[in-house]
Chains A and B, each alone.
Chain A
Amino acid sequence: MIRFNFKRLIIVTLSTLIFIKPLFSAETIDPIKVNWSFKELTGKFDRASLQRGFQVYKEVCASCHSMQYLSYRNLGEAGGPEFTQEEVKAIAASVEIEDGPDSQGEMFTRPGKPSDKFKSPYPNVQASTVANGGAYPPDMSVLVKARPGGADYMYSVLMGYEEPPAGMKLDDGVYYNKYMIGQKIKMASPLSDGIVEYSDGTEATMDQMAKDVTTFLAWAAEPELEERHRVGFKVIVYLILLTILVYLSMKKIWSRIDSEI
């Protein structure tokens, strides 16, 4: 009879696979690991960081990147930056939104309302592409979910601008970024120390701004995150309690039978 330890076989196979993987995926550098407040199972966003991050988005990113799935009202909702209703109204009113047609059939502009979607910097993808040297600045609504590495990757790219290694030729309008896939990016380093003056007095270092805006983008991609964590915790506690009750009932019922369970 052949005796055979299958568990060992599975463990050996899987660990071999995990070992050979890095040998074949050396194109990208692992992003910097940041200890985000929203990462853990009960994680929440840092409210002040979200508000600062919105400021960085508005003053820096928004000149090229759209965020078309967000509405201004989202900025005041629970689990987000939680601006007051007055602040949300003021933020919305600071942009001119094209509306219409009116009863005369004419389009007109009016100040934004909280129910409006974030105004895009360009009327369409083509206009955006041509204005940015042929590279379309991606919409930022779900950008953090759309990249492997998520928030860590986003932060790393913002911090990853360097002089290209000796011998590397870069075309005009192409920059070296060691965390970007392929190490080339068509966006110039968007952040530099003091480019934003934070209204809450925090010192606007590059690292601080990169963290703040990444936090803001992480929220934009998953505005339900805090509620999801909260509901999930309750659901799992409830399920565990119910499981214990059902287990005890099962033991009781099966005790009538001469059989193991």
Chain B
Amino acid sequence: MSDQEYTPKSKAGKWFNDRLPLLTLGSHLTDYPTPKNLNYWWTFGGILTFCLLTQIITGIVLAMHYVAHADLAFASVEHIMRNVNYGWLIRYIHSNGASMFFLAVYIHIFRSLFYGSYKSPREVIWIIGLLIYLLMMATAFMGYVLPWGQMSFWGATVITSLFSAIPLIGESITTWLWGAYSVDNPTLNRFFSLHYLFPFLILGLVVLHIWALHVPGNNNPIGIDLKKPSKDTVPFHPYITIKDAFALLLFMIIFSGFVFFSPNVLGHSDNYIPANPLVTPAHIVPEWYLLPFYAILRSVPDKLGGVILMFGSIFILFVLPWLDTSKVRSAVFRPMYRYFYWIFVVDVLLLGYMGAMPAEGIYLALARIGTIYYFLHFIVVLPVVGLLEKTDPVPMSISAPVLSSGGDPALAKKDYDKI
């Protein structure tokens, strides 16, 4: 990193910093040179940090009142809602916070896909991000089980049963996960324990994610390497902090809208029915943020095949940096990729919708088409487009859009304005 050597002004500061260079770290974070052309899609990193901390803080308070026992969990949640001071507020922030967290993470991921932030030299940032995303899904899933309503119970049954599709050892793995012969009190206990643990693992990975980011520095909307610091960059503080704060406040307004005025709209009404192992709900649906994967799972007639495709749909993202053959990062200069990018966005939305519908008739047919296209996008479209595409000229710097070779500067500028 190109940080200048930092010396604390006070004697005490210098004494401490020589022993633990925390002040140097602070100085690096405030001075961190950031591209000045980052748009608002880049504010979601800060928003996600806020989401994680909100979930951890509200979660710790909820855990003080929650009882992880199959006979008492549902009642303890009602106790939080009715008898704990502002318990309803803390719980609604936590439950809606999970949805807001995923909303933000999806925007963050799709921003990365559009601007090619996963490409060299940022592959490790991308992979750590995916690990965070995986842990988020596991954490959210286990959190949804804790209120021990009907969807909690049956969602847990469906998802844990997936492991029974593994040949030979599947049944044993499922029993081992449950700690019983069905989803029961031992399952609830271990899910609570892991639900408390995982956010701190996520926090650790977030530190690595940011560390890995600070090595090459931020990508930016035109996807070029920047000399840092230069007139193309601004210090992180106050320029990016104030902008992140502004975006975060807008996000918080939407967040508050859900918490205060429709706190249950993102949840399923069946989860206010206490868990009953003898009554299966008509339609078992996961939370909205897992629906695309649920659609992929159900689109395969074979259970093991469905499980493999579902996990495959996430693991294929890990090799994305090597599937995309284009040397140009930003879709701003990639006319063909841009086309397929939006088709891919629609495909994921379609899969999400099909995940919420019963797996029959036209829904199943559309889910299958969506699943096939999802994989085609990574295995065929990305490698081929990268080779065939004639990219637009990429400017040399942000301040002076000088073109690398020929081309029309006005064209590049025009495309850039459109995004």
Contact = CB atoms under 8 A, between A and B. Distances in A.
Contact of A146 (B92, B250, B269): B269
B75 to A, nearest CB: 7
A1 B414 CA distance: 14
A243 B249 contact: yes
Interface string B347-371: 0011001000110011100000000
Interface stretch (B59-67, B175-183, B334-342): B334-342
B257 A236 contact: yes
B256 A24 contact: no
A2 B340 CA distance: 10
A246 B272 contact: no
Contacts of B81: 224
A253 B239 contact: yes
Contact of B260 (A1, A181, A232): A232
Contacts of B339: 2, 4
A242 to B, nearest CB: 6
Contacts, number: 115
B259 A232 contact: yes
A250 interface: yes
A235 B86 CA distance: 14
B234 interface: yes
Interface string A177-215: 000010000000000000000000000000000000000
Interface stretch (A8-16, A49-57, A88-96): A8-16
A203 B246 CA distance: 55
A188 B342 CA distance: 54
Contact of A145 (B231, B242, B269, B335): B269
A199 to B, nearest CB: 27
A250 B245 CA distance: 9
Interface string B226-246: 000001001000110011011
A249 B361 contact: no
- Identify whether the interface residues of A are mostly helix, strand, loop, or mixed: helix
Contact of A69 (B75, B92, B273, B345): B75
Contacts of B79: 69
Interface in A1-53: 1-2, 4, 6, 9-10, 13-14, 17, 20-21, 24, 41
Interface in A227-261: 228-229, 231-233, 235-236, 239-240, 242-243, 246-247, 249-250, 253-254, 257-259, 261
B37 interface: yes
The 10 closest A-B pairs by CB, nearest first: A232-B260, A6-B342, A146-B272, A243-B249, A224-B88, A69-B78, A145-B272, A259-B36, A1-B335, A142-B272
Given A69-B79, A228-B263, A250-B243, 17 more contacts: A2-B335, A4-B338, A9-B343, A10-B342, A21-B357, A69-B75, A138-B273, A142-B78, A231-B89, A236-B260, A250-B245, A253-B239, A254-B239, A258-B231, A258-B399, A259-B37, A261-B243
Interface of A: 1-2, 4, 6, 9-10, 13-14, 17, 20-21, 24, 41, 69-70, 74, 138, 141-143, 145-148, 150, 181, 221, 223-224, 228-229, 231-233, 235-236, 239-240, 242-243, 246-247, 249-250, 253-254, 257-259, 261
17 contacts: A9-B343, A9-B346, A10-B346, A13-B346, A17-B353, A69-B79, A142-B78, A224-B88, A228-B260, A232-B256, A239-B249, A239-B256, A240-B253, A246-B242, A246-B245, A253-B239, A259-B234
